[in-house]
Structure formats: C-alpha cells, structure tokens
Amino acid sequence: MKVGVLALQGAFARHVQMLGDLGVSGTEVRTADELSDVDALVLPGGESTTMSMLLDSSGLRDEVADRISGGMPVLGTCAGMILLAAHVADGRPDQRSFAAIDIDVRRNGYGRQVDSFESDLDVTDLDEPFHGVFIRAPVVDRVGDGVEVLATVDGRPVLCSQGSVVVASFHPEMAGDGRIHGRFLDMAFDA
C-alpha cells in the first residue's frame, strides 16, 4: 500500500516520516498524477483556508473529492479535519470542505496559538493513553449519527471516524507515537 500526504502546505513532512517509521511507503502529493498513484491519503495540519485555496489553484480539489467519494481511506489532522468536515462554522465564505465526515467544526475553536495545549487521551481500543498535541485546534460542535467518537477532551470529540475517514483535532505526528497512524493504516488495509 502506498499512502500519500497532501503536501501543498502544513506539517506534511512529519506525516511522511511517521508512515516510514511504520514501514509504509509515504509520498508527498502535489499533483493529480501523484494522487492517482496512492491508495490512501493524509490531509495534514496547517492553515485550512490556505490549504483550501491551494487545492483549487493546484487543480487537485476535484481529484481529491472524487477519490474520497470513491472510498479512498483518508486521515485528516487539525486543518485536515476542517477540510473533511461536513460544515465549517467560521470558515471563509469561499472556503469549501470535502464533507467526507458528518461533523461540524469551528476553526481554532480551542483558541489562538498561545492557547495550544497537550493532553493524554483515552482512545478507543488503545491500551495506553495517546499524548495529543493541540495547536490552534478545531472544535467539533456536532457529530452525526454515523460518526464514531474515538477520543474526547472535556467531553468534546477530538478523534472521530466514519467509514474510511478518520479525523483528529490534534497532531498525532508530533507525539512520537505511531498508534493513530497505525490504526488508520489498519483500517485502510482492511478497506
């Protein structure tokens, strides 16, 4: 299996490194040809409005949307969660999401950069807590019926899945712990 990491903006290099640490071929995706060569995709953290504009200017938006709607497994972290959400409460008027998971989010819902924090998360099916790094993280305001909440902070969902989509408010690539990526890969291999 070959896993792509959207490499238009944001923390894509750390995801590629994490995939490599797990023994999976991770490749940076910037073009439609590169996208067509991967079996799964990671949408990294970064700045969601910038990533949205770059998806349009690069011509990748429709190709990514088609692959996701066709069932390609996708992991979205922080800004990636925003890009995959059904609704973004405070996005720019021209910002579009892929509506791949039935959640509503608020950008920077936990606050500005100075409000960033870390928290040990109890994640469904993980024996030990996962150390979550939250940087200007989105807040999940609504979870649809078909969405499974896998972890929370103060009662708010921070890790969710629906079908072949997994999203996290935090940056699992920064924890030095491959279990969230491993869980995604297990789901993607089973797809």
Residues 6+ apart with CB under 8 A from 164: 71, 72, 73, 74, 187, 188, 191
Is 171 among the catalytic positions? Answer: yes
β 40-43/74-77 pair status: parallel
Residue of 15, 63, 171, 181 marked active site: 171
The pair of three-digit structure tokens given for residue 147, joined into one six-digit string: 């969405």
CA atoms 15, 5, 181, 24: torsion sign: negative
In DSSP notation, 119-181 reads EEE--TT-SS-EEEEESS--EEEEE-TTPEEEEEETTEEEEEEETTEEEESS-GGGTT--HHH
Q: How far apart (Å, rounded) are the C-alpha atoms in residues 181 and 184? A: 5
Is 160 among the catalytic positions? Answer: no
Residue of 15, 160, 173, 181 marked active site: 173
What backbone torsions phi and psi does residue 38 show, to the nearest 5 degrees? -115, 155
Q: How far apart (Å, rounded) are the C-alpha atoms in residues 143 and 156? A: 10
Residue of 63, 78, 160, 181 marked active site: 78
Q: Please list the active-site residues.
A: 78, 171, 173
